Amino acid sequence: MKVIVSLILVTALAWLTRWVSVDVLNLNTAPQIGAVMSVGLLMLGGWLSGKIFERIQLPGITGYLAFGILVGPFVLGIVSAEQILPSKDGSVAPLGFISDLAIALIALTAGGEIHLSWLKGRTKKVLAILAMHVLIVMACIATFVFLTHGAVHFLADINTLTIAVVALLAGVVMVASSPAVTIAMISDYKADGPLSQMTLVVTVFKDLVLIVLFATVMAVSKGLLDAEASLSGGFLIGVAFELLGSLAIGAVLGLLMALYVEKVGTHLTFFVVGSCLMIALLGEHEIHIPGLDHGFHLEPLLTALAAGMFMQNVWPEKSEPLFHSIEATSLPVYCLFFALEAARIDLRVLSSLWMFSLALVTARTCATWFSVYLGMKLAGLRDAWTQKLWLGMISQAGVSLALVGLIAEGFAETTWALPMKETLVGAIFISQVLGPIGFRYALLSSGEGRKPDRD
């Protein structure tokens, strides 16, 4: 009861402050100033909601998400749209960098959790599961969209080639799952064992595959739909640079971070946040390569992942204090990141296209179960935990949303891009809420995780 009262008090105070400053005093407060209050609200409120959800046997992450939706611009409006959504002129929202910072921290943690020694002898198994999962989910969703397009108003009157392209793009987006949720859940439930390790490895490597796959499908789609845009080799080279560049820079950063721990070794929590900020900001800069038409961005997720992997597998002892600090820093970042992601969800979109979104989620869930089942068979894995691996692949979050954004941007002139984006965002939102519930069940029932007991 005290936790609920605390949550109400925190929310009420933030609401009162906003009401007095905006509606009563009509003050000129810059969005970035108001954003600081939103950070505190989302962090504390998300954490308290997580506590409440844990008491009713639901994952803490679902609590963070629920609180984000509640205080976001589409319900209570305490966190305003101008603080979290990019403006019409394309400028980044004041809280925009928090997502990149959080993704960098999550990826750093993920990198630190990947032990190459564990992968030895299991590479073929991981590849088998990964390949089956990616191919089957993509094929199933693409087929589903292609077959049902007649029932969807914005796809009903377009030609077959365009429908095929839309179906393929939707297939790629729906393959993605969320390393952030996986890491957060593993960390929250202190899970350790083959299920959590396999889920983590497959989820993380799937992101690597997806970036290449998405870039290829986007290039092919553009080439097919736009007569003027030929399939650009430069685009694919740019993607290759993005991948390899991110991994290389990540390795260098890992080296520098290990050096800092060894030579300086103080204020590691601040150092972790500073490093993630640096990785996030590195991703904002466009890098131009001579001879290529367009520049490329480093991928914060890959850069941080490489840094984490490098430290864990090259200097495990030197890096140990750093990973302890990352563990301490993780919870505030998770609370903030997931609440913020949920606050961005436009509930109006979900209410208008929810049926198609729900159908997509159902198709994706079935395809995920089937693909993982086949992958396990192919890999020759028959242990009890293998029955639950698919539950770790349901969550979707940041990467999927980023891909949807790129589709909407890349095909902005078409009639289908915007409604398709809204449908996919709706589907991602449903998966974002349902995914942690399924993964929590998998971790607890397999005996790998234990309920958070912070006392």
The site for other proteins (CB under 8 A) is made up of 2-3, 6, 9-10, 13-14, 16-18, 20-21, 24-30, 32-41, 43-44, 47, 51, 91-92, 94, 97, 260, 264, 266-267, 269-271, 273-274, 277-278, 281-282, 285, 327-332, 335, 454-455
CB of 95 to other proteins, least distance (A): 9
CB of 14 to other proteins, least distance (A): 7
Q: For residue 401, how many C-alpha atoms fall within 13 Å in the half-sphere facing its CB?
A: 22
- Give the residue with the Cβ less far from other proteins, 328 or 355: 328
CB of 259 to other proteins, least distance (A): 12
Dihedral angle, C-alpha 124, 129, 132, 136, nearest 10 °: -170
- Give the residue with the Cβ less far from other proteins, 155 or 276: 276
- Give the residue with the Cβ less far from other proteins, 124 or 324: 324
> DSSP code of 91?
P
CB of 182 to other proteins, least distance (A): 18
CB of 41 to other proteins, least distance (A): 6
Region for 155 from its dihedrals, namely left if φ exceeds 0, alpha if ψ lies in -120 to 50, beta otherwise: alpha
CB of 44 to other proteins, least distance (A): 3
Question: Phi then psi for 230, rounded to 5 degrees?
Answer: -80, 165
Q: Residue 405 and residue 310: Cα distance in Å, rounded?
A: 31
- Give the residue with the Cβ less far from other proteins, 120 or 454: 454
- Give the residue with the Cβ less far from other proteins, 26 or 159: 26
* Residues contacting residue 36 through CB under 8 Å, at least 6 positions apart: none
Handedness of CA 277, 278, 279, 285 (dihedral sign): positive
- Give the residue with the Cβ less far from other proteins, 183 or 360: 183
Q: Residue 84 and residue 158: Cα distance in Å, rounded?
A: 34
Q: Is 22 exposed, middle or buried (0-12, 13-18, 19+ CB in 10 A)?
A: middle
Nearest to 273 by CA among 320, 337, 329, 331: 329
- Give the residue with the Cβ less far from other proteins, 97 or 373: 97
Nearest to 386 by CA among 404, 374, 400: 374
- Give the residue with the Cβ less far from other proteins, 283 or 426: 283
Whole-number Cα distances in Å, 379 to 123, 176, 178, 200: 10, 21, 23, 17
Whole-number Cα distances in Å, 99 to 18, 35, 103, 340: 23, 13, 6, 8
CB of 76 to other proteins, least distance (A): 16
- Give the residue with the Cβ less far from other proteins, 14 or 408: 14
CB of 298 to other proteins, least distance (A): 11
The radius of gyration computed from the CA coordinates of the chain, to the nearest angstrom, equals 22
Q: Is 24 exposed, middle or buried (0-12, 13-18, 19+ CB in 10 A)?
A: exposed
- Give the residue with the Cβ less far from other proteins, 27 or 240: 27
- The string over 283-317, giving b where at least 16 C-beta atoms fall within 10 Å of a residue's C-beta and e elsewhere, is beeeeeeeebeeebebbbbbbbbbbbbbbbbebee
CB of 269 to other proteins, least distance (A): 7
CB of 105 to other proteins, least distance (A): 12
Q: Residues 108, 359: contact at Cβ < 8 Å? A: no
